[in-house]
Amino acid sequence: MTPLLRMEGISKRYGGVRALEGARLECERGRIHAVLGENGAGKSTLIKVLAGVVKPDAGAIELDGKPVALPGPAAAHRAGIVSVFQELSLLPDLTVADNIGIIDPPTRWGLIDQRAQRRRAEQALARVGADVHPLARVRDLALSRRQVVEIAKALARDPKILILDEATSALTAADVASVFGVLRELRDAGLAIIFISHRMHEIAEIADDCSVYRNGRHVATFRAGARTPTEIVEMMIGRDYSSAFPPRPADKPSAPPALKVNKLSWTGRLRDIDFEIRPGEVVGLGGLDGQGQRDLLLALFGALTGVRGSVAVNGKEVRLSSPRSTRGTRLEGGGIALIPEDRKTEGLMLSMSVRDNLSFAAIEQFSRAGMIDRAAEETAIASMIKLLGIRADGIDGPVAALSGGNQQKVVIGKWLMTRPQIILLNDPTRGIDVGTKQELYQLLRTLAAERAALLFYSTDYAELIGCCDRVLIFYDGAIVAELEGEAMTEHNIVASAHGLVSHASTSRAEPV
């Protein structure tokens, strides 16, 4: 049977960098095709070629067995190819309805029919089960809500080929389940769906076929279930993948707490938060998304106003009035650093160089009489690049040119340059490949061994269990359970996350 889509011999270079070399992809109607590979493997470039965003240096594309040229996104849309990229295309100052209908808005008497546009938006949002008001302004939505709106916008165009490039990376578990239900309906209706995700459990759940890419080349295509997850990962990274998570230390940290939080509250979002972290500990934050975990990290970083309660660093109470007050040597023993949720909008200045991004937060360390000591700066940057294994073609190129995994390493490196003692991590592995994830897991343990105290929020329960010494479960703005040792299981995390505890929700209760 002729596949709906065939891409053959696709090659693309950016200067001396080979993004794709003779890559191929075939997709059938009524199938969900997973595209797998590390960041920098060529997946996104291949998809951008199909979406008309990137012009290939060589290769051919066929739809329904007929050659097709895709000189731009408009041509791809006319051919029925619609993409949802990890980098959102929404206009933040417009409403949800405006964004969904922006390509082809309904008109009446030559003007946009606002009522019809709202109805169209409501239908698209309902299709993905989104609890978003069509007249809400996009900039006021959480990242997960924006991602759902992006998917609804794509479905409103009635595609033949739907491309999801890390489109679930910012979604909650409930959102993913809803979107997967829609994808199965679309598949059964005859659509070809190209699905890119670094979450292997999502691939196992939704994919019918899989194609693996490495270093810009096609490695293999096979039916889902024909390879084990370990085999797939080894194909992706080209090396043995024996254990994702480094072992925990045998002895528990016994030093006085590096961070002690008492009765911390904020508006109605955080309620009487009590916990402490010792040097050398990795403490996880679990629970359903939006239960206060991100608010806690922002409060500890000094980014929220009106926070009540007390916070002590190395035994001394501190006033976290702003992110500047928590940085570097402003706190005795080392400052507080936050690795943000969205590297594109919160962690990086994309048009600026790798050098400027890495040294920005720590620039005071390299200032001498109002001048930057470039030698000291470059020495520190070289050391950080080596520590994190950042792959970049020089430090003066724009950070936007790096792969997602290397961009995330730059975000982490920027804050490690401030020499923090307390490191707050907000879902730091979102949207990065399994090989880079493994490197970051090892980095967490290395930092802990160097006496840092880490507070680690993740939407991936396997990460919490594999990376953390103990996990604090949030529910409705409060810590309802603290899991450690053998109690740190996915069952207990899920039970606690849904409020299934044996005592009041404000207590450290044992899960039922």
What is the average pLDDT across 77-102? 86
Higher pLDDT, 471 or 155: 471
Residue 87 pLDDT > 50: yes
The total number of structural domains in the chain stands at 3
Can you tell me the mean pLDDT for 389-400?
88
For range 192-220, the mean pLDDT: 90
pLDDT of residue 76: 93
pLDDT in tens, 281-290: 999 999 877 7
Which of 131, 129, 101 minimizes the C-alpha distance to 115?
Answer: 101
pLDDT per position as a tens digit, 252-283? 888 999 999 999 999 888 999 999 999 999 99
* pLDDT band, residue 308 (cuts 50/70/90): very high
Give the rounded percent of residues in the chain with a pLDDT score beyond 90: 44
Q: Is 371 exposed, middle or buried (0-12, 13-18, 19+ CB in 10 A)?
A: exposed
Which of 223-232, 261-270, 330-339 is the least confident region? 330-339
Residues 215, 162 within the same domain: yes
**Does pLDDT of 1 surpass 80?**
no
- The rounded distance, in Å, linking the Cα atoms of 220 and 345 is 35
Does position 240 have pLDDT exceeding 70, yes or no? Answer: no
Q: Is the same domain home to 126 and 262? A: no
Q: Residue 38: which of 357, 447, 408, 353 has the closest Cα?
A: 408
Domain match, 214 and 264 both: no
Is 24:9 a contact under the CB 8 Å cutoff?
A: yes
- Burial profile 120-130: b = 16 or more Cβ within 10 angstroms, e = fewer: bbbebbebbeb
For residues 351 and 328, membership in a common domain is answered with no
| Residues 143 and 9 occupy one common structural domain | yes
Q: Which range, 7-21, 174-188, 291-305, 360-374, is most confident?
A: 291-305
CATH number for 106: 3.40.50.300
Beta strands 478-484 and 316-318, pairing class: unpaired
pLDDT in tens, 126-175: 888 778 899 999 989 877 788 888 888 888 888 899 999 887 877 777 77
Determine the average pLDDT of the residues in 312-317: 90
Instruction: Look at residue 327 in the predicted model and tell me its pLDDT.
Output: 65
> Torsion angle, CA of 97/102/106/109, rounded to 10 degrees?
110
The DSSP H or E segment spanning 165 is: strand 161-165
Tell me, letter by letter, the H, E, C secondary structure of 435-487.
HHHHHHHHHHHHHHHCCCEEEEECCCHHHHHHHCCEEEEEECCEEEEEEEHHH
For residues 198-225, give the mean pLDDT: 91
Last residue of a domain, one of 368, 403, 418: 418
Specify which residues 107 forms β-bridges with.
Answer: 112
| Band of pLDDT at residue 352, cut at 50, 70 and 90 | very high
Query: What span, in angstroms and rounded, lies between the C-alpha atoms of 159 and 492?
Result: 41
Q: Say what the pLDDT of residue 498 is.
A: 65
Residue (of 2, 8, 11, 38) closest to 25 by Cα position:
8
Q: Is residue 262 part of a domain?
A: yes
Q: Of the candidates 237, 262, 285, which is a domain's last residue? A: 237
Same domain flag for 330 and 460 = yes
Q: What is the pLDDT of residue 312?
A: 92
What torsion, rounded to 10 degrees, do the Cα atoms 101, 102, 108, 113 define?
Answer: 50
Query: What's the mean pLDDT in 483-497?
Result: 85
Spatial distance between the Cα atoms of 104 and 374, rounded to a whole number of angstroms:
51
Mean pLDDT for the stretch of residues 332-353:
84
The CA distance from 267 to 264, in Å, is: 11
pLDDT attached to residue 16: 65
Residue 68: C-alpha distances to residues 76, 158, 362, 446 (Å): 10, 20, 50, 51
Together in a domain, 93 and 187: yes
Kindly state whether residue 340 falls inside one of the protein's structural domains. Answer: no
Confidence of residue 507 (pLDDT cuts 50, 70, 90): very low
Supply the range of the domain harboring residue 376.
347-418
For residue 342, is it within any domain? no
Residue 244 lies in a domain: no
Report how far residue 130's alpha carbon sits from residue 177's, in angstroms, rounded to the nearest whole number: 12
54 and 202 housed in the same domain: yes
| Residue-level pLDDT at 271 | 93
Q: How is residue 489 annotated by DSSP?
A: -
For residue 509, pLDDT over 50 is answered with no
404 and 37 Cβ atoms separated by less than 8 Å: no
> In which band, very low, low, confident or very high, does the pLDDT at 323 lie, cut at 50, 70 and 90?
confident
Residue 243: pLDDT over 80: no
- Could you say which of 237, 269, 293 is where a domain stops? 237
My answer on whether 220 and 313 are in the same domain is no
Judgement on whether residues 10 and 102 belong to the same structural domain of the protein: yes
In this structure, the answer to whether residues 425 and 414 fall within a common structural domain is: no
Judged on CB neighbours under 10 Å (0-12, 13-18, 19+), 94 is middle
- Is 291 contained in some domain? yes
In a domain, 245, yes or no: no
Taking the C-alpha atoms of residue 172 and residue 82, their distance in angstroms, rounded to an integer, is 23
C-alpha–C-alpha distance, residues 73 and 252, integer Å: 55
> Which of these, 355, 411, 350, lies nearest to 379 by C-alpha position?
355
Q: How many CB atoms lie within 10 A of CB 252?
A: 12
- How far, rounded to the nearest angstrom, does the alpha carbon of residue 131 sit from its chain's CA centroid? 21
Is 243 inside any structural domain? no
Residues 405 and 437 in one domain: no
Please compute the mean of the pLDDT values over residues 25-42 and round it to a whole number.
89
pLDDT at 6 over 90: yes
Q: Is residue 233 part of a domain?
A: yes
Site of tokens 């740190």: 488
pLDDT tens across 402-448, in order?
888 889 999 999 999 988 999 999 998 877 777 788 889 999 999 99
Is residue 132 a contact partner of residue 148, using CB atoms and an 8 Å limit? Answer: yes
Selection from 459, 421, 221, 198 nearest residue 326 by Cα: 421
Q: What percent of the chain has pLDDT over 70?
A: 93
- Tell me 280's DSSP state: T
Statement: residue 234 has pLDDT above 60: yes
Q: Is 207 helix (H, G, I), strand (E, B) or coil?
A: coil
If pLDDT is split at 50, 70 and 90, which confidence band does 37 have? confident
Q: What is the DSSP string of 22-50?
A: EEEEEE-TTEEEEEE--TTSSHHHHHHHH
Digit-coded pLDDT (tens) for 42-66: 888 999 999 999 999 999 999 999 9
Decide: 492 and 481 in contact? Cβ < 8 Å: yes
The chain-wide mean pLDDT, for the chain, equals: 86
pTM to 2 decimals?
Answer: 0.64
Q: Which residues contact 430 (CB under 8 A, 6 or more apart)?
A: 169, 170, 341, 459
C-beta neighbour count of 243 within 10 angstroms: 10
